Amino acid sequence: MAKARAIVKRRKAVRNIKKITKTMQMIATAKFQKSLKRAVGTKPYTMKVRELVRELAASVGNVEHPLLRRPGNDDRTNRIALLVITSNRGLAGAYNGSVLRATNVFIRAQEAAGKSIDLYVAGKKGISYFNFQKRSILQKIEAQDAPKFADVERLADEFIRRFTSAEVDSVHVAYMNFISTGVQKAEVMTLLPLAGVAEIAEHLGKQLAEKESQAAAGAMDARRSGADQIAESMGLHVEVTYDFMPGARELLDELLPLTVKTALFQTFLDATTSEHVAR
């Protein structure tokens, strides 16, 4: 009889665990759907800001800006800032482990190159891990289920200040990049200096110069003859020349910091969405 009672109690316990697990799954699914809408919804805005920055950089020509500074021998500090985004709670599969492994690979490579690392950590799991490793954390950041732009903006301002004042040579973010519901990838992204703007500006500048020379030669009559429509129907990309007001350089001064802030905010949204997928 005692054995029978034990079996009944065990079955009851299993049913209770099943109910709890199902409830947790439903909560995680609801949070994931909400987080997914935010992560996917902000990406077009983030990409459009970057596209506008590229167009502005092309209009300016030779782009020189503090956020594009690449430290040389004279102003190199051999110090970098690294933000690691993890979760507050466990039961998230390989989510935290993948991010921390990618972080360790990056840290070892940077330290082997003689660089010092100022560590910023978001999430209790990451904080506990680096405390266990006895690695100094410069700033501990509270991870939120629904990241707020205002909170991320303050952190971005801190990174911008440290980079433009030459306290650090670069700023990087280790996080879980949300690609799709089936694919998430732990990676380390370079936040500062803003990469590729100068190169893209040079490329677009050449395209604009070609456009102007074609216009001077009367080649723009091709639009009136329908040549552009034919090119578009064949899948060819037609470049567009923009006029900016106020000037391109003034807009660039506003948009480059915004690019940093939106990129950082997107990493937090991707990380949160990836965490809910893992649950």
Q: Which residues pair with 189 in a beta bridge?
A: 173
Give the model's pLDDT for residue 130.
97
**Rounded (10°) angle between helices 2-60 and 197-216:** 40
How far is it, in rounded angstroms, from Cα 171 to Cα 138?
A: 14
How far is it, in rounded angstroms, from Cα 201 to Cα 152?
A: 28
Question: Is the residue at 79 inside a domain?
Answer: yes
Owning domain of residue 109:
66-195+248-278
Q: How many domains does the chain have?
A: 1
Please enumerate in sequence order all residues whose Cβ is within 8 A of that of 168, keeping only pairs 6 or more positions apart, or say none: 77, 79, 80, 81, 118, 162
Question: Is the residue at 38 inside a domain?
Answer: no
Give the model's pLDDT for residue 108.
97
Give the model's pLDDT for residue 67.
86
**Residue pLDDT tens, the chain, 279 long:** 567 778 878 888 888 888 888 887 777 777 777 777 777 777 787 777 777 777 776 666 666 788 888 887 777 899 999 999 999 988 778 999 999 999 999 999 999 999 999 999 999 999 999 999 999 999 999 888 788 999 999 999 999 999 999 999 999 999 999 888 888 999 999 999 986 555 544 544 554 455 455 445 544 544 444 444 444 444 444 455 666 677 667 777 888 899 999 999 999 999 998 888 887
Q: What is the CATH number of the domain that holds 181?
A: 3.40.1380.10
Give the model's pLDDT for residue 86.
97
Question: Is the residue at 203 inside a domain?
Answer: no
Give the model's pLDDT for residue 207.
46
Query: Largest alpha-carbon pair distance within the chain?
Result: 101
Enter the tokens of residue 228: 């552009």
Question: Is the residue at 28 inside a domain?
Answer: no
- What is the CB neighbour count within 10 angstroms for residue 184? 22
Question: Is the residue at 125 inside a domain?
Answer: yes
Question: Is the residue at 142 inside a domain?
Answer: yes
Predicted TM-score (pTM) above 0.85? no
Give the model's pLDDT for residue 5.
79
Question: Is the residue at 138 inside a domain?
Answer: yes
Question: Is the residue at 37 inside a domain?
Answer: no
